[in-house]
Amino acid sequence: MRRRQVPPLGKRHGLDPARLRLPEDGQWATIRDHLVERLPRVPAARIDELLREGGIVNLDGPIAPDAPYVPGGAIWFHRDLPVETEVPFEIDIVHRDESILVIDKPHFLATIPRGQHIVQTALVRLRRELELPELIPAHRLDRVTAGLILFVVDPARRGAYQTMFHKRLVRKEYEAIARYDPDLELPRVVRSRIVKERQVLKAFEVEGEPNAETLVELIEHRGGIGRYRLRPHTGRTHQLRLHMNGLGIPILGDDFYPDFTDKPVDDFTRPLQLLASALEFTDPVTREPRRFETKRTLQAWHDPQGWAGI
């Protein structure tokens, strides 16, 4: 197996530096000229500043402002981070040992850096706060979904835990709050074909062979709302949200289904009432049975006032 090259720059904010491979057929006089053309969104003045400060390096160290272009070479640098709104909620630690870390993630915190969410993500926060620079998630939760996520602490054991999720060897349970429909027969298994296109925010159920399956059960109901247990057999994008919406009981607080609502990123009110409540599996390293359960609860069940769709 080919080993990943160790970056010559250390992590910043818990993040590895960006790596750029210099094209073999490049005809630029200097590395600076190449970067100005290749990174049009980065002002040339900023590239010059990074070069002067030694912020762009290769395996031999900082690159000089007039360093000649080297076809096939590689360089590293830290990208400038976007301005982010702080997510004002804590991450709860459920379990930690030498191999894994299980957390209880709050709503509105992304699992990994992506797009406009970089520092305000579970991964970056945990790497910094727990001083675990090699931490990596074995799976992910949507930013708007709260609950349990398993991270791998020991880099040598990443494959074992990530494979466990890929092979569907983990039994996942979710809790959701939605309108109660007395005419809906539950429990039932929902199967459908879900398609998610790149650059399109919403996923869609379409005709064809099912690729998504969820067991939906009603735990209890009161005051026109229901508390549901969802057990997905597959892990398609937005699967639980689509399946609940397809049953005519969309999850409370869902800004995508049935209708899209453009909610400001700093609006932390009325979170999606979906919670990853349990993870159960046979540990691939110790062979011991494991079960982790959330201690979080969903707002709408305890205080339904003001929730649309009831």
**49-108 pLDDT, tens per residue?**
999 999 999 999 999 999 999 999 999 999 888 888 899 999 999 999 999 999 999 999
Out of 31, 51, 77, a domain closes at: 77
Residues 109 and 196 occupy one common structural domain:
yes
Residues 55 and 106 occupy one common structural domain:
no
**181 contact partners, CB below 8 Å, separation of at least 6:** 226, 247, 248, 249
* pLDDT of 309 strictly over 70: no
Give DSSP secondary structure letters for 141-200: --TT-EEEEEEE-SGGGHHHHHHHHHTT-SEEEEEEEEE--TTS--SEEEEEEEE--TT-
Out of 42, 77, 112, a domain closes at: 77
**158 contact partners, CB below 8 Å, separation of at least 6:** 136, 138, 152
Residues 109 and 53 occupy one common structural domain:
no
Residue 190 in domain? yes
> Higher model confidence: residue 309 or residue 244?
244
The set of catalytic residues is 142
Taking the CB of residue 207, how many other CB atoms lie within 10 A of it?
A: 6
Beta bridge partners of 146: 275
Residue 6 in domain? no
* pLDDT of 19 strictly over 60: yes
Q: Quote the domain boundaries for residue 296.
A: 92-302
Residue 35's CATH number: 3.10.290.10
Residue 232 in domain? yes
* DSSP code, position 68: B
Residue 54, pLDDT score: 93
Taking the CB of residue 107, how many other CB atoms lie within 10 A of it?
A: 24
Residue 199, pLDDT score: 81
Residues 169 and 281 occupy one common structural domain:
yes
Residue 251 in domain? yes
Residues 22 and 162 occupy one common structural domain:
no
User: How many separate domains does the chain show?
Assistant: 2
pTM (2 decimals)? Answer: 0.85
Decide: 243 and 190 in contact? Cβ < 8 Å. Answer: yes
Out of 77, 101, 126, a domain closes at: 77
Q: How confident is the model at residue 225 (pLDDT cuts 50, 70, 90)?
A: very high
CA-closest candidate to residue 10, choices 53, 50, 55: 55
Which tokens sit at 229?
A: 């247990």
Which tokens sit at 29?
A: 């006089």
Look-up of token digits 């094209």: 23
